[in-house]
Amino acid sequence: MAGTAKFNKLDALVQIPSKNAKGNVPAVQFGKPQVDSKTGLVVLQEWWGLNDQIQEEAQAIARQGGFVTMVPDLYRGEKAVDNEKAGHLMNNLDWPGAVEDIRGCVKYLLEKGCTKVGVTGFCMGGALAMAAAALVEEVSAAAPFYGIPGDGLCDISKISTPLQCHFGSKDAMAGFTAPEDQTKMKEKLDKGKVPYEFYSYDAGHAFTHKGGPNYNSEASEQALRRMCEFFKKHL
Protein backbone atom coordinates (compact mmCIF):
# COMPACT_ATOMS: atom_id res chain seq x y z
CA MET A 1 0.00 0.00 0.00
CA ALA A 2 1.25 3.46 -0.81
CA GLY A 3 2.29 5.73 2.00
CA THR A 4 -0.23 8.25 3.28
CA ALA A 5 1.91 11.14 2.05
CA LYS A 6 1.21 10.07 -1.51
CA PHE A 7 -1.88 10.34 -3.68
CA ASN A 8 -3.18 13.51 -2.06
CA LYS A 9 -5.87 15.48 -3.85
CA LEU A 10 -4.66 18.31 -6.06
CA ASP A 11 -5.40 21.75 -4.67
CA ALA A 12 -8.00 22.60 -7.30
CA LEU A 13 -10.24 20.94 -9.85
CA VAL A 14 -8.38 19.99 -13.00
CA GLN A 15 -10.07 21.15 -16.21
CA ILE A 16 -10.07 18.32 -18.74
CA PRO A 17 -10.65 18.95 -22.46
CA SER A 18 -13.79 17.13 -23.62
CA LYS A 19 -15.81 16.85 -26.82
CA ASN A 20 -18.94 17.02 -24.68
CA ALA A 21 -21.17 19.84 -25.93
CA LYS A 22 -20.79 21.43 -22.49
CA GLY A 23 -17.04 21.76 -22.99
CA ASN A 24 -14.29 21.00 -20.48
CA VAL A 25 -15.14 18.67 -17.63
CA PRO A 26 -13.84 19.48 -14.12
CA ALA A 27 -12.18 16.57 -12.33
CA VAL A 28 -10.56 15.78 -8.99
CA GLN A 29 -7.20 14.04 -9.27
CA PHE A 30 -5.35 12.02 -6.63
CA GLY A 31 -1.65 11.68 -7.32
CA LYS A 32 0.52 12.73 -10.23
CA PRO A 33 1.49 10.61 -13.26
CA GLN A 34 5.13 9.48 -13.21
CA VAL A 35 5.61 10.97 -9.71
CA ASP A 36 3.22 8.71 -7.81
CA SER A 37 2.39 6.09 -10.45
CA LYS A 38 2.64 5.29 -14.15
CA THR A 39 -0.86 3.79 -14.20
CA GLY A 40 -4.07 5.78 -14.14
CA LEU A 41 -7.64 4.99 -13.21
CA VAL A 42 -10.75 7.04 -13.97
CA VAL A 43 -13.30 6.57 -11.16
CA LEU A 44 -16.91 7.36 -12.04
CA GLN A 45 -19.53 8.73 -9.68
CA GLU A 46 -22.82 7.23 -8.61
CA TRP A 47 -25.96 9.19 -9.43
CA TRP A 48 -25.28 11.51 -6.48
CA GLY A 49 -22.60 13.52 -8.26
CA LEU A 50 -19.06 14.47 -7.25
CA ASN A 51 -19.66 14.27 -3.51
CA ASP A 52 -17.29 13.54 -0.63
CA GLN A 53 -18.06 9.82 -0.71
CA ILE A 54 -16.84 9.19 -4.27
CA GLN A 55 -13.77 11.38 -3.70
CA GLU A 56 -12.88 9.41 -0.57
CA GLU A 57 -13.42 6.17 -2.52
CA ALA A 58 -11.11 7.35 -5.31
CA GLN A 59 -8.39 8.35 -2.86
CA ALA A 60 -8.65 5.02 -1.05
CA ILE A 61 -8.35 3.17 -4.37
CA ALA A 62 -5.34 5.27 -5.32
CA ARG A 63 -3.55 4.38 -2.10
CA GLN A 64 -4.58 0.74 -2.05
CA GLY A 65 -3.74 0.03 -5.68
CA GLY A 66 -0.97 2.53 -6.30
CA PHE A 67 -2.81 4.24 -9.16
CA VAL A 68 -3.27 7.88 -10.04
CA THR A 69 -7.05 8.28 -9.86
CA MET A 70 -9.27 10.90 -11.43
CA VAL A 71 -12.98 11.57 -10.81
CA PRO A 72 -14.69 13.68 -13.48
CA ASP A 73 -17.59 15.86 -12.36
CA LEU A 74 -20.11 14.58 -14.89
CA TYR A 75 -22.86 16.84 -13.49
CA ARG A 76 -20.57 19.89 -13.60
CA GLY A 77 -21.16 21.15 -10.11
CA GLU A 78 -24.59 19.74 -9.33
CA LYS A 79 -25.06 17.25 -6.50
CA ALA A 80 -27.94 15.35 -4.96
CA VAL A 81 -28.72 14.42 -1.37
CA ASP A 82 -31.98 12.57 -2.03
CA ASN A 83 -33.21 10.00 -4.53
CA GLU A 84 -35.56 12.40 -6.31
CA LYS A 85 -32.82 14.89 -7.13
CA ALA A 86 -30.35 12.11 -8.00
CA GLY A 87 -32.84 10.51 -10.37
CA HIS A 88 -33.49 13.87 -12.02
CA LEU A 89 -29.78 14.50 -12.55
CA MET A 90 -29.11 11.02 -13.93
CA ASN A 91 -32.13 11.07 -16.25
CA ASN A 92 -31.02 14.43 -17.65
CA LEU A 93 -27.42 13.37 -18.14
CA ASP A 94 -26.10 13.44 -21.70
CA TRP A 95 -24.75 9.88 -21.66
CA PRO A 96 -22.81 10.05 -24.94
CA GLY A 97 -21.43 13.37 -23.69
CA ALA A 98 -20.38 11.69 -20.44
CA VAL A 99 -18.51 9.07 -22.47
CA GLU A 100 -16.65 11.93 -24.14
CA ASP A 101 -15.81 13.31 -20.68
CA ILE A 102 -14.35 9.92 -19.78
CA ARG A 103 -12.42 9.79 -23.04
CA GLY A 104 -10.98 13.21 -22.25
CA CYS A 105 -9.86 12.09 -18.79
CA VAL A 106 -8.22 8.93 -20.11
CA LYS A 107 -6.36 10.85 -22.82
CA TYR A 108 -5.30 13.52 -20.31
CA LEU A 109 -3.75 10.96 -17.96
CA LEU A 110 -1.96 9.30 -20.88
CA GLU A 111 -0.64 12.64 -22.10
CA LYS A 112 0.59 13.50 -18.60
CA GLY A 113 2.67 10.32 -18.37
CA CYS A 114 0.50 7.34 -17.48
CA THR A 115 1.40 4.35 -19.64
CA LYS A 116 -2.05 2.75 -19.36
CA VAL A 117 -5.41 3.89 -17.98
CA GLY A 118 -8.39 1.88 -16.73
CA VAL A 119 -11.94 2.86 -15.79
CA THR A 120 -14.13 1.86 -12.89
CA GLY A 121 -17.40 3.21 -11.58
CA PHE A 122 -20.36 2.55 -9.34
CA CYS A 123 -24.08 2.35 -10.23
CA MET A 124 -24.49 5.02 -12.93
CA GLY A 125 -20.71 5.18 -13.06
CA GLY A 126 -20.54 1.41 -13.44
CA ALA A 127 -22.76 1.58 -16.51
CA LEU A 128 -20.57 4.33 -17.93
CA ALA A 129 -17.39 2.37 -17.14
CA MET A 130 -18.72 -0.55 -19.19
CA ALA A 131 -19.76 1.84 -21.96
CA ALA A 132 -16.28 3.35 -21.95
CA ALA A 133 -14.81 -0.13 -22.37
CA ALA A 134 -16.93 -0.48 -25.50
CA LEU A 135 -16.50 3.02 -26.92
CA VAL A 136 -13.18 4.51 -25.76
CA GLU A 137 -10.30 2.76 -27.49
CA GLU A 138 -7.72 4.28 -25.13
CA VAL A 139 -9.16 2.35 -22.16
CA SER A 140 -6.94 -0.65 -21.30
CA ALA A 141 -9.25 -2.36 -18.77
CA ALA A 142 -12.54 -1.69 -16.98
CA ALA A 143 -14.18 -2.80 -13.74
CA PRO A 144 -17.85 -1.78 -13.52
CA PHE A 145 -19.72 -2.09 -10.22
CA TYR A 146 -23.49 -2.79 -10.38
CA GLY A 147 -24.12 -0.81 -13.56
CA ILE A 148 -25.14 -1.89 -17.08
CA PRO A 149 -25.42 0.54 -20.02
CA GLY A 150 -28.49 0.59 -22.21
CA ASP A 151 -28.36 -0.84 -25.73
CA GLY A 152 -28.91 2.65 -27.12
CA LEU A 153 -25.59 3.82 -25.72
CA CYS A 154 -23.35 0.95 -26.77
CA ASP A 155 -23.12 -2.71 -27.73
CA ILE A 156 -21.30 -4.40 -24.85
CA SER A 157 -20.72 -7.52 -26.95
CA LYS A 158 -18.16 -5.45 -28.89
CA ILE A 159 -15.92 -4.91 -25.84
CA SER A 160 -12.41 -6.21 -26.50
CA THR A 161 -10.60 -4.89 -23.43
CA PRO A 162 -10.41 -6.95 -20.19
CA LEU A 163 -13.51 -6.50 -18.05
CA GLN A 164 -14.19 -7.34 -14.39
CA CYS A 165 -17.82 -7.08 -13.23
CA HIS A 166 -19.06 -6.79 -9.63
CA PHE A 167 -22.74 -7.25 -8.76
CA GLY A 168 -24.94 -8.10 -5.80
CA SER A 169 -27.10 -11.22 -5.84
CA LYS A 170 -29.75 -9.31 -3.85
CA ASP A 171 -29.78 -6.28 -6.15
CA ALA A 172 -33.39 -5.09 -6.42
CA MET A 173 -32.88 -2.56 -9.23
CA ALA A 174 -35.11 -4.34 -11.74
CA GLY A 175 -34.52 -3.23 -15.31
CA PHE A 176 -31.00 -2.08 -14.48
CA THR A 177 -28.87 -4.40 -12.35
CA ALA A 178 -31.15 -7.02 -10.78
CA PRO A 179 -30.10 -10.68 -11.15
CA GLU A 180 -32.19 -11.12 -14.32
CA ASP A 181 -30.44 -8.08 -15.84
CA GLN A 182 -27.07 -9.53 -14.86
CA THR A 183 -27.96 -12.76 -16.67
CA LYS A 184 -28.85 -10.87 -19.86
CA MET A 185 -25.61 -8.91 -19.58
CA LYS A 186 -23.54 -12.09 -19.29
CA GLU A 187 -25.34 -13.59 -22.29
CA LYS A 188 -24.33 -10.58 -24.39
CA LEU A 189 -20.74 -10.71 -23.15
CA ASP A 190 -20.55 -14.44 -23.84
CA LYS A 191 -22.01 -13.96 -27.32
CA GLY A 192 -19.31 -11.43 -28.13
CA LYS A 193 -16.58 -13.55 -26.52
CA VAL A 194 -15.66 -10.60 -24.33
CA PRO A 195 -12.70 -11.32 -21.98
CA TYR A 196 -14.50 -10.81 -18.67
CA GLU A 197 -14.65 -11.90 -15.08
CA PHE A 198 -17.94 -11.83 -13.17
CA TYR A 199 -18.26 -11.74 -9.38
CA SER A 200 -21.50 -11.95 -7.47
CA TYR A 201 -21.74 -11.00 -3.79
CA ASP A 202 -24.36 -11.79 -1.17
CA ALA A 203 -25.38 -8.15 -1.08
CA GLY A 204 -27.75 -5.58 -2.50
CA HIS A 205 -27.23 -2.68 -4.86
CA ALA A 206 -24.47 -0.18 -4.01
CA PHE A 207 -22.87 -2.53 -1.50
CA THR A 208 -19.56 -0.62 -1.53
CA HIS A 209 -21.15 2.74 -0.60
CA LYS A 210 -20.16 3.44 3.00
CA GLY A 211 -23.08 4.92 4.90
CA GLY A 212 -25.58 3.61 2.37
CA PRO A 213 -28.44 1.27 3.32
CA ASN A 214 -26.90 -1.70 1.50
CA TYR A 215 -23.28 -1.22 2.53
CA ASN A 216 -21.61 -4.58 3.11
CA SER A 217 -18.08 -4.23 4.45
CA GLU A 218 -17.03 -7.82 3.72
CA ALA A 219 -18.28 -7.77 0.12
CA SER A 220 -16.89 -4.29 -0.43
CA GLU A 221 -13.40 -5.15 0.80
CA GLN A 222 -13.30 -8.33 -1.26
CA ALA A 223 -14.54 -6.60 -4.42
CA LEU A 224 -12.15 -3.66 -4.15
CA ARG A 225 -9.24 -6.00 -3.49
CA ARG A 226 -10.13 -8.01 -6.60
CA MET A 227 -10.46 -4.83 -8.60
CA CYS A 228 -7.01 -3.56 -7.57
CA GLU A 229 -5.43 -6.92 -8.40
CA PHE A 230 -7.19 -6.91 -11.76
CA PHE A 231 -5.90 -3.47 -12.69
CA LYS A 232 -2.40 -4.26 -11.48
CA LYS A 233 -2.44 -7.19 -13.91
CA HIS A 234 -3.78 -5.30 -16.92
CA LEU A 235 -2.44 -1.75 -16.50
CATH number, position 124: 3.40.50.1820
> Is 162 within a domain?
yes
129: left (phi over 0), alpha (psi -120 to 50) or beta: alpha
> Is 46 within a domain?
yes
Q: What is the pLDDT of residues 124-169, one digit of tens each?
A: 999 999 999 999 999 999 999 999 999 999 999 999 999 999 999 9
> Is 22 within a domain?
yes
Q: What is the pLDDT of residue 8?
A: 78
pLDDT band, very low/low/confident/very high, at 11 (cuts 50, 70, 90): low
Percentage of the chain modeled with pLDDT above 90: 92
> Is 5 within a domain?
no
Percentage of the chain modeled with pLDDT above 70: 97
Q: When comparing pLDDT for 152 and 11, which is higher?
A: 152
Instruction: Give me the mean pLDDT over the 167-187 stretch.
Output: 98
> Is 83 within a domain?
yes
> Is 2 within a domain?
no
Query: Where does residue 176 rank: exposed (0-12), middle (13-18), buried (19+ CB within 10 A)?
Result: middle
Q: What is the pLDDT of residues 88-134, one digit of tens each?
A: 999 999 999 999 999 999 999 999 999 999 999 999 999 999 999 99
Domain count, the chain: 1
pTM of the model: 0.95
- Nearest-CA neighbor of 74 among 33, 131, 114? 131
> Is 9 within a domain?
no
Which residue range forms the structural domain that includes residue 180?
14-234
Q: What is the pLDDT of residue 19?
A: 97
Q: Is residue 81 a contact partner of residue 70, using CB atoms and an 8 Å limit?
A: no
